[in-house]
Structure 1
Amino acid sequence: MATTPLARPHHLSFSTILHSLSQTPHRLRKRMFVTWSPDQEMNQVRQRSGADMKRKLEWYDLVALGVAGMLGAGVFVTTGRVAHKVSGPAVFISYIVAGVSALLSSMCYTEFSVEMPVAGGAFSYLRVTFGEFVGYFGGANILMEYVLSNAAVARTFTEYLSHAFGVDDPKSWRVQVDGLAQGYNALDFPAVALIILITLCLCHSTKESSIVNVVMTVFHVIFFGVVIVACFANGNPKNLIEPKGLAPFGARGVLDGAAIVYVSYIGYDSVSTMAEEIRNPSKSLPIGIAGSVLIVSALYCLMALALCSMIPYDEILDDASFSSAFKNMVGWRWMGNVVGVGASLGIVASLLVAMLGQARYLCVVGRARLVPFWLAKVHPSTGTPINATIFLGICTASIALFTDLEIVIEMISIGTLLVFYLVAGALIYRRYVKLGGSGGVSSPLPTLLFLLLLTSTSIGFSLSWKLNGGYWWGLAMFGTAAIAITGIFHRKVPCNRSTAEWSVPLMPWPAAASIFLSVFLMASLKKRSFLRFVLWSCFITLFYALYGVHSTFHAEEMEMERGASEGNHGEPSPPQQGKLEVQGP
């Protein structure tokens, strides 16, 4: 395939900048809901990066990437804290609830990724469905979620590495600095060193990084099996019901725990961002995404059960909980060191995959000119998005250096749940609204009304559950309404046959259930998550209004100028952004 020449940079004088800002309302109206077609996303937009990413990955690479991306983050970062403070021994049920929601979301991701195998993941799926701003908003939120969760995982690495060397207090490996605010004054240099090493590895090659990951993942799964057997061998079933029963914090604690441990499933969507580097996307992506979610869900539940059977939930430590549990067992202190080694390697594999995915998200956002274009550069020899990898590595290292793990954990999950909610809604929209072609165009109003009513009933159900004391009449009313609305929509509105080689069965039920669970779990999060979300949303919206919309507008002008120039020389003009369909509502 011939590579489209990169557009010339658009140099702006001060007067031009002022003129552009004065045109902001007009450009927002013109650009916010403009969509690209899947074909343009896979060809014209992808070619803006210059060199193509190299297609070297197979289905087993994807399963290993998905498993590695989730395992380290889930068990070692959240299990001990949630068991001790939120869910008790029923933390394994929290993992089941979160896993069901992740599996439903993964089905939506799979259909999109098979139909449109590009590195942009949710950003690309939302942009071709709801338009530029929604895609940008979702992509920016998932990027922030990646950076925060990777910083949390890196700080957990320091805790387990200290246990691997027989140091019981991980804080001794951090440098306390007077004068900084509490929670930001423990500098974690081992976490920063790890992020720098992984960033350099990812800049070199995706395939070599994948080979390292496959080896580490095989070791990691074997290690998990050893830990599970050792925990159950030293465990006592009575610990699951003592001192206060299986669910000492009640059903509310189980579901609140599910919202927190949902961060454990950040990683499977990284598989979809590898779509441009897969040899056979239509076969490999469904296996890679769904397979990794199922494998990891089973391991999470077994690990959570094993930990809570070995030690009463109220004695589980928040920091390096698995290593600490073994060190408190007579004759098994050595196993605490072994767990520290295995957990450290698992965390390295998890970070490798997550940082692999986040760079590809940012690369595709850069292709769309919504952030500076140099972030979209793909190195011609390594075939990796080198600038995006380095930039996000610096951001992740900065947060990991200063921010306490407890603070980071409270701020994550909301962005992931929001994006999964949007992707499920986008799938329903694409399956029930005809966007053109031989079948003509159908009105989007019935589908938009359904999404609005489903979201409203989901919020009503969630608030009824969230309020102290619980409004059971609200749960019954809103739950029944959500089921009835979905049933009526399924019966009255015809579903378009998916053109993808793999599609979600029984539509719209799986996508509707994904929307319902995403809203419900978001409502269970802490206040700090919503505060972070509001501040970040304000920032990225302002950035879009002051930079993104103008950058894409000027990029459109350059595309049209180049197309006209090539047309004058008798050459075919590439697809032009100015001719895009406005498929949004």
Structure 2
Amino acid sequence: MSIFRTKNLDDMLAAGRAPGGLKKVLGPFDLILMGIGAIVGTGIFVLTGTGALTAGPALTISFIVAACACGFAALCYAEFASSVPVAGSIYTYSYATLGELVAWMIGWDLMLEYGLATSAVSVGWSGYFQSLLSGFGIALPSVLTAAPGAVPGVTTYFNLPALIIMLVLTAMLSWGVRESARVNNIMVAIKVGVVLLFIVVGARHVQPANWQPFMPFGVGGMMSAAALVFFAFIGFDAVTSAAEEVKRPERDLPIGIIGSLAACTVLYVLVSAIMTGIVPFQKFLGIDHPVSLALQYAGENWVAGFVDLGAILGMTTVILVMTYGQTRIIFAMSRDGLLPKKLSTVHPKYGTPFFATWVVGIAFGLIAALVPLNVLTELINIGTLAAFTLVSVAVVILRKKRPDLPRAFRCPGVPVIPALAVIFCVVLMTYLHWLTWVAFGIWLLIGLVVYFAYARHHSVLNQKG
């Protein structure tokens, strides 16, 4: 059936090498910092407090469980990225293995995941930025500080800082990926330095008594927290979206994927252990700045100020990298005919998908400005878990379909490792709220309608057929 038609891998690789395409300017160090830039942000600076309320000191185990789900999937991503260094991430891999309809649905899913992630983090960035301004005695008009209905009892119409940061980073991405990578690398270095400062200073104030009881809400609480803090690891897969802009993708992409995930896992476990060792976990109720609270609790107020700065930079890099990943997926889908061709045009001077970048920036900037944060975050985790599940299945299928394909990196223990990735992801999905499942189902139904009404007929494969 036409909905299960797959793209020829050799044609995909040729398209990625065609002249006039995206510029190849990124190396392994850029990719590791890009991954860390996407991962270290809202998760470590905000979600650690909510996770502690759900799991208690066992939050450290929650992070390890979430990291295992990501780690197994990361090995599958690394094999695909080294074998098929083409823009589009799991969308592209699915198109080559599982068929057009599955590829479209996962691309549709990723558009929602990446887009809402950038919008949600922009709202968080706005809150920290306004807090920073207040320290200098500057206050924005209340009507421009949040989305309508976001603050109970306060009249708000528009989150202006959230829109502005989206537009500034969109402009940066549209002008060139090399320049964006340099800015990202500087901000990542600063925010990792801030996290390391917290670890060094906070470790002196840990009271082991605060770790007892270690698992106050049992295994269920620990697993629920793992499903929640999984959000903290979202982003390493965005590295694969850079495939066509990497100088040596066969070697550098696996380094970037696995290296960034490993570094962030170590940071998360250390930060959560120290944080819950300083402050009894019950005190994180209603707190949206748990890391700086721990330092204030320990009397290290000067370091707490640096943490707030690190949070702002951390969220900035998350928005930057996730917006980048979003535009490259749309670029790949447009090039395949599933979205309008205008979205895959490359700017002759900047070598970027200029039009697609601005469409993404303006659309999700307005969503950040007009939609409350709690609404934005509902679908992000389930969309990512679904993507990780599919890439784990796809790597096994590609092994059978194309055993001859050169693989600079091979996922170890196939099919066991991919199976473990599927199991971990599905188990975490079962701990998400049922309303999240309903909303996710509605979004996928909309995607099916768009596919059969537009994408299927405009597909490049359909034109060839």
**TM-score normalised by length of structure 2:** 0.93
Q: Which of structures 1 and 2 has the larger relative contact order (alpha carbons within 8 angstroms, sep 6+)?
A: 2
Q: Is the 8 A contact 2:389 2:426 kept in 1?
A: yes
Aligned partner letter, 1:371: L
Q: Is the 8 A contact 2:246 2:252 kept in 1?
A: yes
| SS of equivalent residue, structure 2 residue 410 | coil
Aligned partner letter, 1:523: T
Shift of 1:341: 1.2
The answer for the alignment partner of 1:230 in structure 2 is 201
Give, in whole Å, the separation in 2 of the partners of 1:176 and 1:159.
12
Q: Is the 8 A contact 1:67 1:217 kept in 2?
A: yes
Q: Is the 8 A contact 1:52 1:383 kept in 2?
A: yes
Alignment partner of 1:103 out of 71, 75, 93: 71
Change (3 A) 1:172 1:525: farther
Shift of 1:89: 1.8
Tell whether 2:43 aligns with 1:74: yes
Give, in whole Å, the separation in 1 of the partners of 2:108 and 2:222.
30
User: Residue by residue, what CA displacement relative to the aligned partner does 1:90-118 show, whole Å, maximum 9, x if unpaired?
Assistant: 11211111111111101111111111101
Change (3 A) 1:297 1:174: farther
The answer for the alignment partner of 1:313 in structure 2 is 281
The answer for the alignment partner of 1:296 in structure 2 is 264
Tell whether 2:449 aligns with 1:542: yes
Tell whether 2:407 aligns with 1:500: yes
Aligned partner letter, 2:160: F
Shift of 1:130: 1.0
The answer for the alignment partner of 2:227 in structure 1 is 259
Aligned partner letter, 2:199: I
Moved more, 371-380 or 203-212: 371-380
The answer for the alignment partner of 1:4 in structure 2 is none
Q: Is the 8 A contact 1:130 1:426 kept in 2?
A: yes
- Any unmatched runs of 5+ in structure 2? none
Alignment partner of 2:381 out of 408, 413, 417: 413
Give, in whole Å, the separation in 2 of the partners of 1:394 and 1:53.
22
Shift of 1:510: 0.5
The answer for the alignment partner of 1:141 in structure 2 is 109
Shift of 1:188: 2.2
Moved more, 176-185 or 528-537: 176-185
Shift of 1:149: 1.5
| SS of equivalent residue, structure 1 residue 175 | helix
RMSD (Å), alpha carbons: 2.5
What does 1:78-93 correspond to in 2, within 5 Å?
A: 78-84=47-53, 86-93=54-61
Aligned partner letter, 1:522: M
Give, in whole Å, the separation in 1 of the partners of 2:162 and 2:389.
32
Aligned partner letter, 1:61: D
| SS of equivalent residue, structure 2 residue 23 | coil
Give, in whole Å, the separation in 1 of the partners of 2:113 and 2:141.
26
User: Residue by residue, what CA displacement relative to the aligned partner does 1:184-215 show, whole Å, maximum 9, x if unpaired?
Assistant: 97532211111111000000010011111111
The answer for the alignment partner of 1:370 in structure 2 is 338
Change (3 A) 1:406 1:92: farther
Shift of 1:523: 0.8
Change (3 A) 1:376 1:180: same
Shift of 1:328: 4.5
Aligned partner letter, 1:40: D
Alignment partner of 2:84 out of 113, 116, 121: 116
What does 1:205-220 correspond to in 2, within 5 Å?
A: 205-220=176-191
Aligned partner letter, 2:295: F
Q: Is the 8 A contact 1:231 1:309 kept in 2?
A: no
Tell whether 2:105 aligns with 1:198: no
Give, in whole Å, the separation in 2 of the partners of 1:173 and 1:295.
40
Aligned partner letter, 2:86: V
Shift of 1:297: 0.5
Change (3 A) 1:544 1:380: same
The answer for the alignment partner of 1:360 in structure 2 is 328
Give, in whole Å, the separation in 1 of the partners of 2:450 and 2:374.
29
Q: Give aligned-pair identity as a percent.
A: 31
Give, in whole Å, the separation in 2 of the partners of 1:110 and 1:188.
38
Tell whether 2:36 aligns with 1:36: no
Change (3 A) 1:96 1:414: same
Change (3 A) 1:318 1:399: farther
Give, in whole Å, the separation in 2 of the partners of 1:397 and 1:171.
21
The answer for the alignment partner of 1:581 in structure 2 is none
User: Residue by residue, what CA displacement relative to the aligned partner does 1:406-456 show, whole Å, maximum 9, x if unpaired?
Assistant: 333333210110011011111111223x46xxxxxxxxxxxxxxxxxxxxx
Change (3 A) 1:270 1:41: same
Give, in whole Å, the separation in 1 of the partners of 2:64 and 2:142.
35
Give, in whole Å, the separation in 2 of the partners of 1:294 and 1:229.
20
Alignment partner of 1:272 out of 229, 240, 244: 240
User: Residue by residue, what CA displacement relative to the aligned partner does 1:313-332 show, whole Å, maximum 9, x if unpaired?
Assistant: 111143122233434454x3
Aligned partner letter, 1:227: F
Aligned partner letter, 2:310: G
Moved more, 96-105 or 406-415: 406-415
Shift of 1:401: 1.3
Give, in whole Å, the separation in 1 of the partners of 2:362 and 2:250.
34
Shift of 1:251: 0.7
Q: Is the 8 A contact 1:66 1:293 kept in 2?
A: yes
Moved more, 227-236 or 93-102: 227-236
Give, in whole Å, the separation in 1 of the partners of 2:146 and 2:71.
45
Change (3 A) 1:228 1:162: farther
| SS of equivalent residue, structure 1 residue 43 | helix
Give, in whole Å, the separation in 2 of the partners of 1:218 and 1:211.
11
Tell whether 2:27 aligns with 1:58: yes
The number of equivalent residue pairs is: 461
Change (3 A) 1:176 1:220: closer
Aligned partner letter, 1:132: E
What does 1:380-529 correspond to in 2, within 5 Å?
A: 380-432=348-400, 434=401, 496=403, 499-529=406-436
The answer for the alignment partner of 1:460 in structure 2 is none
Shift of 1:527: 2.1
| SS of equivalent residue, structure 2 residue 377 | helix
Aligned partner letter, 2:359: F
Q: Which structure would you say has the larger Rg?
A: 1
Give, in whole Å, the separation in 2 of the partners of 1:179 and 1:51.
41
Give, in whole Å, the separation in 2 of the partners of 1:100 and 1:421.
13
Give, in whole Å, the separation in 1 of the partners of 2:71 and 2:417.
9
Change (3 A) 1:301 1:175: farther
Give, in whole Å, the separation in 1 of the partners of 2:244 and 2:123.
31
Change (3 A) 1:160 1:124: same
User: Residue by residue, what CA displacement relative to the aligned partner does 1:346-393 show, whole Å, maximum 9, x if unpaired?
Assistant: 111121111111110111011111111111111121111112211111
| SS of equivalent residue, structure 1 residue 382 | coil
The answer for the alignment partner of 1:552 in structure 2 is 459
- Any unmatched runs of 5+ in structure 1? 1-28, 436-495, 558-576, 579-585
Give, in whole Å, the separation in 1 of the partners of 2:24 and 2:329.
17
